[in-house]
Structure 1
Amino acid sequence: MSAGRPAVARQVPHHGTEAHRRHPRTKPEQRLPGRPRSEQASRAIIAATLEMLAEGVSLDSLSMEAVATRAGVGKATLYRRWSNKAALISDALVSLYEPPVPVLRGSVREELTTAVDDLRRWTRDSIAGRLLTHFTSGPCCSPELRAQYFQSVIEPKKAVFREILRRRIVNGDVHPSIDIEATLWIVFGSVLFGYALSEGAGEEQFSSDNIVDLILPGISSASPPQ
């Protein structure tokens, strides 16, 4: 250093400077936990459970190990989510819930016939419908699982018919003194239990028109119930 020349202090960058605050160093993007993978495994387990039951595996024969194999997951993955078979089946039934879908409107007869057609098609073609025998006539079904099936699966279907009858009462097409719940069970007994007990053989024995023609005279405002 030359004599008489003042020393120049070195400028040390400080992380609190204005420049640093304007241009902070960006951190590498952090990976999120494996949530998507976890949800995918849960969906696969639920799907495997429903598929096996719909294919005819009984509630008693269904095993956690077989479900894990079908879903392509380890048993530990399955048991971390569901500690027993009843809990797994209960959640599988909850996943079947579908909000009620109103049918196209026309005359009361046309509307009810369309709704019965939809119910018959659902019973025959959907996984939820094909599970009916497990939770109605199966000796291995617990009261809790039977109640869960009716709450998650059957009740939304009944809600469609209930809405039709209530609206038609307001419109004057259906007599206000009818027992709506009894009427619903006449329809559902004809379709669901008739199909389940006959294992589909009764499908050709009666039509949706037959069912509606049987109940309509008893609920019509033109011929009030006695």
Structure 2
Amino acid sequence: MAISDLSIERIARTAGVGKATIYRRWEGKESLLVDVVRSMEPVDPPLPGTSVRDDLVALVEMLRRRGLAKRSSALLHNVFAQMQSYPQLWEMYQRLAVTPRRERMDAVLRRGVETGEIRGDVDFELLGDMFVGPMLVRTVLRPESTPGPGSAERIVDTVLRGVRPPG
């Protein structure tokens, strides 16, 4: 079913509830669909907090699991692909799901700069992309390349080697 075919009326009828029940929880079908997608994705675990490296590994590993979940769930893959065709829905997903994850990554990277584990002269936005990019490529753009356990560690260690202060 296409997103354009959905309506609050149809969703309420299928769920056996009134429209008011749906509107009490969601402002419209877009926010409901974002919640559906978010509920199907793996939950972000707490960060270990033992080191910047360990926190980065946890974040990149979560990205690996999320990417593999999108691959293995036909429904999630379909809805996610359709969401990209609806600017309002895509913007809402970015705001509610992607931005908080990016902010979490930024906080870890800032801590790494503050503790001297990461050079302060590195383009901060690019740095976040350097950790996330390889896993996104391997889980989303290259379906023939399934990143296995240990992939997050290899990505984080490789990037960290390049951004550590000399010494």
- Change over 3 Å in CA distance of 1:144–1:176 after alignment to 2: same
Please, which of 203, 208, 216 is the counterpart of residue 146 of structure 2? 203
1:183 paired with 2:127, answer yes
Displacement of 1:203 in angstroms is 2.8
Q: CA RMSD in A?
A: 3.8
Aligned-residue sequence identity (percent) comes to: 25
Distance in 2 (alpha carbons) for counterparts of 1:68 and 1:193: 38
Alpha-carbon distance change, 219 to 180 in structure 1, aligned in 2, over 3 angstroms: same
Aligned match of 1:143 in 87, 103, 109?
87
Give 2:109's match in structure 1, choosing from 165, 185, 188: 165
Partner of 1:156: 100
Question: SS at 1:202's partner residue?
Answer: coil
Q: CA deviation at 1:150?
A: 0.9
Q: Which amino acid aligns with 2:109?
A: L
Q: Which runs of 5+ in 1 are unaligned?
A: 1-56
TM-score by length of 2: 0.68
Q: Gaps spanning 5+ residues in structure 2: where?
A: none
CA drift of 1:167 comes to: 0.6
Higher relative contact order (CA 8 A, sep 6+): 2
Shift of residue 65, structure 1, vs aligned partner = 5.3
* Preserved contact between residue 7 and residue 29 of structure 2 (Cα < 8 Å): no
Q: Which amino acid aligns with 2:135?
A: V
Q: 1:213 to 1:141 in 2, by over 3 A?
A: same
Match of 2:55 in 1: 111
Q: Secondary structure at the match of 2:146?
A: helix
CA change 1:69–1:188 in 2 (3 A) is: farther
Larger Rg: 1
Equivalent in the alignment of 1:68: 12
Counterpart position of 1:88 = 29
TM-score (norm 1): 0.53
Distance between the aligned counterparts of 1:179 and 1:216, measured in 2?
14
The separation in 1 between residues aligned to 2:154 and 2:110, in whole angstroms, is: 22
* Shift in CA distance, 68/207, structure 1 to aligned 2, threshold 3 Å: same
The structure where helix makes up a greater share of residues is 2
Question: Is 2:64–2:135's contact at 8 Å kept on the other side of the alignment?
Answer: yes
Is contact 1:194–1:202 with CA below 8 Å preserved after alignment?
Answer: yes
Kept in 2, the 8 Å contact 1:133–1:196? The answer is no
Aligned to 1:54: none
Aligned residues of 2:12 and 2:22 also touching (Cα < 8 A):
no
Corresponding letter in the other structure for 1:221: P
Letter in 1 for 2:29: L
